[in-house]
Amino acid sequence: MAKWPDLAVLELVVGVDDYGSLSAASRQAGLAQPNASRSIRVLERQLGMTLLQRSPTGSTLTPQGTVVAHWARRILAETRQMLQATDSLRAERRTALTVAASMTVAEHLVPSWLGTFGKLHPEVRIHLLVHNSAQVFEDVTSGACDIGFVESPTIPRTLHNLTVARDELVVVVHPKHPWTRRRQPISIAELASTSLLVREPGSGTRITLDLALAEYQRAAPLLELGSAAAIRTSVLAGMGPSVMSTLAVADQVKTGELKIIPVQDLVLHRALRAVWNGPRQLSGPEAELVRLVRSPRTSQN
């Protein structure tokens, strides 16, 4: 079987058919005629047949050349359609942005981020997926989203990441919980041995807590819940203590509905990160979103 021909030389063959000579076809293609002739000869060797009838007055297609021109025309038309389709896909890619965010980030930060982004870029359609950190990693890896935001302390090595914000985990209880009457901080061992209201496995908050208490004997969870909002409601109802992001309990702590319990020698600061797949250098709407999120003005909102 002959080698794959170059598309540019197929355009020359079609040009000869359209304009009646190689000289006219080469002018239309913006090529010097000697270069056009050389390309045709290469194609003839590849196909094993003569495509041009050469004469002192010019070069025209042979019968075989006419057949090749017919098929070349179809190939070029399909190629143009493919390029138009990829142009459309690229345009669609730049006017749509799918974001996946873990629960804490999605509930307390992403709405203001996307609101600001939407005002600056009204032409970009935004889709938000809300999962725990483990599922966000899967979405980013599979291409189900363009960029993810997580609070997990562990990031898959196959993904790129960049710190965009920070928060802190604290122990919170109902104001009538016995720990509120303690004059001294509780110990890490006591926290570990207490049944807590916790997020489900795969949550960034759960992973952070499990890593912090990994060296201690752990009590079984009091209850596993799928969102910070559900845990906050349970703590407010007096069901038990929990370790939660300050983002999730700031309002309730301010009003006195929840109390923060200090833990001796335990400070759970953590980075909130953007994660993405593919090239290390972000581009398009996702790059603009990360730039906006990291700007001091947005961070203060």
Is the predicted pLDDT of residue 12 greater than 60, yes or no?
Answer: yes
pLDDT of residue 31: 87
The whole-angstrom separation of Cα 84 and Cα 39 is 26
The whole-angstrom separation of Cα 158 and Cα 195 is 35
pLDDT of residue 301: 47
pLDDT of residue 58: 76
3-state SS assignment for residue 9: helix
Is the predicted pLDDT of residue 1 greater than 70, yes or no?
Answer: no
Could you read off the pLDDT of 257-274 as tens digits, one per residue? 999 999 999 989 999 999
Do residues 51 and 65 make contact, with C-beta atoms less than 8 angstroms apart?
yes
The whole-angstrom separation of Cα 158 and Cα 156 is 5
pLDDT of residue 284: 86
The whole-angstrom separation of Cα 149 and Cα 81 is 37
Do residues 272 and 150 make contact, with C-beta atoms less than 8 angstroms apart?
yes
Top-ranked range on mean pLDDT: pick from 2-11, 24-33, 241-250: 241-250
pLDDT of residue 83: 80
Confidence band for 184, pLDDT divided at 50, 70 and 90: very high
Mean pLDDT computed over every residue of the chain? 90
Enumerate domains of the chain plus CATH numbers: 7-92 (1.10.10.10), 94-147+278-299 (3.40.190.10), 166-270 (3.40.190.290)
Q: What is the per-residue DSSP string for 86-154?
A: HHHHHHHHHSEEEEEEEHHHHHHTHHHHHHHHHHH-TTSEEEEEEE-HHHHHHHHHHTSSSEEEE--S-
The values of phi and psi at residue 209, to 5°, are -65, -45
The values of phi and psi at residue 97, to 5°, are -140, 120
Do residues 218 and 193 make contact, with C-beta atoms less than 8 angstroms apart?
yes
The whole-angstrom separation of Cα 30 and Cα 52 is 19
